């Protein structure tokens, strides 16, 4: 244990009446909901980048956080790992997630970066064995270094494509070695700033090729985790190819990867794409590509990705409802892709952020479970679509009827549909009983 969190004890569940700011009021990891402990439903993960690598800068000013590991070099990286595992343990978070660039200093050449990554992975192996904390997913940072400014797999320079492929390979190797349950690809620079200098079709083919190689390599090394794409419409590039779940699904279909790749859906990215978070979750479930979530919230007044900790129960409850209806997480989980505000400079702020986020998610999940247990919402949907159970409706759906067949029946039976209320306000009130 490092002394960064000196004086702070392991966070415990104390119940809704507790006034202790360093206790959980709703997240009781062992509480059984719908037959499963909360910790196994939620599968919380802490993101290394926001909590340990981010320095508190904004476009108008630099670092605000004072952290003893904010220097270059492997000693600093080791100290950062010590503190990271301290936080995971204090919070009782079962998982963590990282990019290569979060955990090791970059080397002057590729081989050196990989060597350093593997050194830190050795340390992670020890710490994971000691603490029982597991890896939800690993990923490569293919967006911060200036070599990636025009894209990673979508770069006009094939050497950048090659460098990216090599970097992904190294990160998949490390993720497999650490027993990671997923491998994530977020294409921060996979898009363009101006069409004037961009061949979109060619760039998409490059991206399709890279993803196909990732899937081949996964099978080759026997990585049992899930490959996940994380959609986002823009930021940093103006147009990103992985815009949203629907766009990613079309991309996967085009390159024949829809059975090998799923999605990691982030709250703030859904909002940026003009959707609700639950829309993205429900659509992924409908396509059979739901994988995992990056939990956070956006500031509704700003048009960018603010990555704040979630604190709005209704906002997360319906997302967990759709996750539960889809059968819950398998290899996925709830990763806090959330960072402190830049004035929150103290070690305990890292705990407040995560405690609030974990409590919000626990309340959301419990509300979702209560909606399911109550059953009246599900019954409403059942009734609304009940007509489709009829023999003729099934025949239409199964392709056993042509347009002419249907037209003949409509004419013969004098079919004249009577509109029925969609009951939106009734449903909003119904859901409000639980959230
Ligand atoms: C960026 C973002 C990333 C991914 C991993 O908006 O969400 O942190 O989650 O690369
Ligand atoms: Co994310």
Read off the pLDDT of residues 161-186 as tens digits, 9 standing for 90 and up.
999 999 999 999 999 999 999 999 99
Mutate to test the pocket of ligand 1, among 100, 138, 337 (most ligand atoms within 8 A of CB): 337
Ligand 1 atom having least distance to the Cα of 99: 10
337 touches ligand 1 (CB under 6 Å): yes
The answer to whether 51 and 83 are in contact (CB under 8 A) is no
Q: Is residue 311 scored above 90 in pLDDT? A: yes
The one catalytic residue among 102, 173, 242, 359: 102
Nearest to 96 by CA among 83, 106, 105, 107: 83
252-278: pLDDT as tens digits: 999 999 999 999 999 999 999 999 999
pTM > 0.95: yes or no: yes
Q: Find out whether 28 and 362 touch, Cβ atoms under 8 Å.
A: yes
Cβ atoms < 10 Å from Cβ of 266: 26
Q: Which ligand is nearest to the CA of 235?
A: 1
Above 90 in pLDDT, residue 357? yes
Which ligand has the nearest atom to the CA of 232? 1
Q: Count other C-beta atoms under 10 Å from residue 17's C-beta.
A: 6
User: From the CA of 388, how far away is ligand 1's center (Å)?
Assistant: 41
Atom of ligand 1 nearest to the CA of 188: 1
User: With 90 as the cut, is the pLDDT of residue 303 above it?
Assistant: no
Among residues 230, 229, 138, 155, which one has the least CA distance to residue 189?
A: 155
> What is the Cα Rg of the chain in Å?
24
* 185 DSSP β-pair partners: 229
- For a pocket test of ligand 1, which of 139, 237, 268 has the largest count of ligand atoms closer than 8 A to its C-beta? 139
Measured in Å, residue 142 CA sits from the centre of ligand 1 at: 11
Pocket flag, ligand 1, residue 203 (CB < 6 Å): no
Residue 1 has pLDDT above 90, yes or no: no
Q: Over 90: is that where the pLDDT of 302 sits? A: no
Kindly report the protein residue whose alpha carbon is nearest to atom 5 of ligand 1.
Answer: 186
pLDDT in tens, 389-420: 999 999 999 999 999 999 999 999 999 999 99
Domains in the chain (CATH in brackets) are 12-374 (3.20.20.150), 388-432 (no CATH)
Asked if 317 and 26 count as a contact pair (C-beta separation under 8 A), the reply is no
99 has catalytic annotation: yes
Return the closest-CA partner of residue 230 out of 194, 192, 187, 179: 187
Ligand 1, atom nearest to 232 Cα: 6
Percent of the chain with pLDDT over 70: 100
Which DSSP helix (H) or strand (E) runs through 113?
helix 110-131
pLDDT tens per residue across span 80-92 = 999 999 999 999 9
**pLDDT of 40 over the 90 cut:** yes
Say what the pLDDT of residue 395 is.
98
- Tell me what pLDDT residue 134 has: 99
287 is catalytic: no
Ligand 2 centre to CA of 337 (Å) is: 5
**Residue in 41, 99, 275, 322 annotated catalytic:** 99
For ligand 1, whether the C-beta of 240 sits within 6 Å is no
Band of residue 76 on the pLDDT scale cut at 50, 70, 90:
very high
User: Which ligand ends up closest to the CA of 188?
Assistant: 1
């Amino acid at each position: 244990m490092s002394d960064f969190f000196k004086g702070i004890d392991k966070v415990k569940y104390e119940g809704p009446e507790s006034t202790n700011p360093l206790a959980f009021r709703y997240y009781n990891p062992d509480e059984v909901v719908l037959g499963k402990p909360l910790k196994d439903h939620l599968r919380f993960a802490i993101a290394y980048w926001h909590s340990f690598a981010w320095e508190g800068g904004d476009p108008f000013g630099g670092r605000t956080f004072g952290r003893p590991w904010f220097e270059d070099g492997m000693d600093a990286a080791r100290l950062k790992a010590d503190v990271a595992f301290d936080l995971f343990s204090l919070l009782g978070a079962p998982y963590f997630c990282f990019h290569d660039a979060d955990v090791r200093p970059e080397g002057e050449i590729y081989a050196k970066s990989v060597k350093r990554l593997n050194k830190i992975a050795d340390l992670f192996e020890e710490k994971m064995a000691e603490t029982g904390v597991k890896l939800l997913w690993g990923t490569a940072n293919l967006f911060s270094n200036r070599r990636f400014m025009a894209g990673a797999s979508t770069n006009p320079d094939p050497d950048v494509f090659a460098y990216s492929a090599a970097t992904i390979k190294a990160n998949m190797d490390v993720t497999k070695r650490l027993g990671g349950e997923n491998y994530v690809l977020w294409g921060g620079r996979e898009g363009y700033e101006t069409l004037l200098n961009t061949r979109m079709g060619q760039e998409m083919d490059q991206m399709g090729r890279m993803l196909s190689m990732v899937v081949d390599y996964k099978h080759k090394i026997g990585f049992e985790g899930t490959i996940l794409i994380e959609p986002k419409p823009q930021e940093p590039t103006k147009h990103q190819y992985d815009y949203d779940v629907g766009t990613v699904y079309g991309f996967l279909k085009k390159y024949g990867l829809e059975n090998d790749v799923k999605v990691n859906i982030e709250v703030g990215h859904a909002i940026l794409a003009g959707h609700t978070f639950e829309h993205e979750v429900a659509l992924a479930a409908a396509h059979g590509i739901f994988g995992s979530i990056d939990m956070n919230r956006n500031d509704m007044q700003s048009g960018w990705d603010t990555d704040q900790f979630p604190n709005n129960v209704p906002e997360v409850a319906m997302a967990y409802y759709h996750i539960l209806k889809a059968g819950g997480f398998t290899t996925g989980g709830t990763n806090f892709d959330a960072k402190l505000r830049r004035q929150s400079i103290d070690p305990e702020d890292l705990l407040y952020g995560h405690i609030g986020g974990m409590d919000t998610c626990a309340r959301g999940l419990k509300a979702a479970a209560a909606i399911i247990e109550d059953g009246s919402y599900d019954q409403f949907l059942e009734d609304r679509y009940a007509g489709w159970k009829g023999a003729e409706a099934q025949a239409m759906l199964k392709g056993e009827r042509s347009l002419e067949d249907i037209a003949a029946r409509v004419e013969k039976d004098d079919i004249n549909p009577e509109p029925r209320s969609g009951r939106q306000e009734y449903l909003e009130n119904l859901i409000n009983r639980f959230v």
